[in-house]
Amino acid sequence: MSAPVRPHYREAMSDLAPAASPTVVAAASARRGESRLKVVARTAFPFLVVALAWEVTAHLGIFPRKLFPPLEEVAAALVRLTADGVLPHHVLDTLVRLLAGFALAAVAGVAIGFAMGRSRRAEDVFLPLVSIGAPIPGLAYAPLFLLWFGLGNMTAVLLVAFVSAFPIIFNTWTGVKAVKDIWVRSAQAMGADNRRLLHHVILPGALPYVLTGLRLGLAQAWRILVGVEMLAAVSWGLGWMIFGAREFLNTDVMLAGVVVIGAIGLALEKLVFQRLEQYTVVRWGMMS
């Protein structure tokens, strides 16, 4: 007798189904055993082509230079903003907001997900609420949150937490349900009490899913935060920086901001989560 999987589950969880992740992307090139130099050259080539095309278009003057700046101007804006400390301030505020919101979501999401996975009653109570909240795009709540909590930090952090909690809840819940029944029963047969069962069987068993949930939650948080910063009129933050630059037609500042946003997104994925995965689930042999 395995725990019945609810029919809702598959539909609500399209994020879990076979999906490509940036990890796959990175692995693809490593697998072929080419020399490092060749891989670098091959990876750099498309960027060079695109950069060249951009430069040519910018210098031909088809579009106004203010709107379509050449790359050296974008780079200069990046250096200038970094040197006078404006960009680091924006980045710092954005990251603090992201972490605060995400930490709230992680704690609440994992707790709710665990409760839903372990107790039928909690599942019945939370599932309808979560299923109603999840399909509404997070940003749609933004004006409502603005109305309730006012402009500024509070709204941004709460909205980020609210939005990124959903994937965390769904994945934790699935993970706890996916723990093999036979592991639980054999642990019980060997005399594990509830606490040890949770600690040594269910937690490690559910962890790959929980990590997936956290990763999706963080990605979601990052996507939403940029938008929220544009709407919530915070005084510092990358989203605000690029949105504010629109007023003065500072396309170079905008593009520099977009580059930084992309770099942070990539770093969150590569440095934080891949590292975390290496140390936990891969080491425990839950995932290769």
Partner 1 sequence: MNAATARIERTTSAYRAGLTLLIAAACYEAVARSGAFPAALLPTLPKVASTLWALILDGTMLEHAGYTMYRVLFGLVLAVAVALPLGILMGRFRPVENFFLPLASALMPIPSLAWVPVFILWFGLGNTVAILIVFYAALFPMLLNTWSGVRAVNPLWLRAAGAMGADERALFWKVIIPGASPFIITGLRQAFLRAWIAVVGAEMLAASDWGLGWVIFDAKEFLNADVMLAALAVIGAIGFLFERLVFGSIERATVMRWGMVRTAKG
Where would I find the beta strands (DSSP E) of the chain? none
The residue within the footprint of partner 1, chosen from 74, 105, 110, 142 (CB under 8 A), is 142
Which of 212, 181, 168, 162 minimizes the C-alpha distance to 17? 212
Alpha-carbon span 4 to 126, nearest angstrom: 17
Amino acid at 259: V
Tokens found for residue 128: 């309808």
CA distance 225 to 153: 11
Does 60 engage in binding with partner 1 (CB under 8 A)?
A: no
Around 98, how many Cα atoms within 13 Å sit in the side-chain half-sphere?
24
Instruction: Give the shortest CB-95-to-partner 1 separation in angstroms.
Output: 15
Residues 193-222 that bind partner 1 (CB under 8 A): 222
- 262-281 positions binding partner 1, by CB under 8 A: 262-266, 268-269
d(CA 215, CA 234): 26
3-state secondary structure of 18: coil
Nearest approach in angstroms of CB 211 to partner 1 is: 18
Chosen residue from 140, 182, 189, 190 binding partner 1 by CB under 8 A: 140
**Which one of residues 176, 231, 234, 281 is an interface residue with partner 1 (CB under 8 A)?**
231
CB atoms within 10 A of CB 248: 9
Residue 188's identity, in one-letter code, is Q
Which residue's CB is nearer to partner 1, number 39 or number 192? 39
Helix, strand counts (H, E) of the chain: 14, 0
Q: Which of 270, 161, 170 is nearest to 210 (CA)?
A: 170
Which region, judged by CB under 8 A, interacts with partner 1, from 77-85, 107-115, 135-143, 181-189? 135-143
Query: Which region, left, alpha or beta, applies to residue 273 given φ > 0 means left and ψ of -120 to 50 means alpha?
Result: alpha
Decide if residue 185 touches partner 1 (CB under 8 A): no
Q: Which span sits near partner 1 by CB under 8 A: 7-15, 73-81, 109-117, 196-204?
A: 7-15
User: In the structure encoding, which two tokens stand for residue 125, read together?
Assistant: 């109570």
The interface with partner 1 within residues 79-108 (CB under 8 A) comprises: none
Question: Which member of 105, 146, 176, 207 binds partner 1 (CB under 8 A)?
Answer: 146
Helix axes 251-267, 203-231, angle to 10 degrees: 170
- Binding segment for partner 1 (CB under 8 A), chosen from 81-89, 116-124, 180-188, 197-205, is 116-124
Q: Considering the rule CB under 8 A, would residue 43 count as an interface residue with partner 1?
A: yes
From 20-28, 71-79, 105-113, 205-213, span contacting partner 1 (CB under 8 A): 20-28
51 binds partner 1 (CB under 8 A): no
Q: How far is the CB of 25 from partner 1 (least distance, A)?
A: 5
Query: How many of the chain's residues bind partner 1 (CB under 8 A)?
Result: 82
The reply on whether position 243 binds partner 1 by CB under 8 A is yes
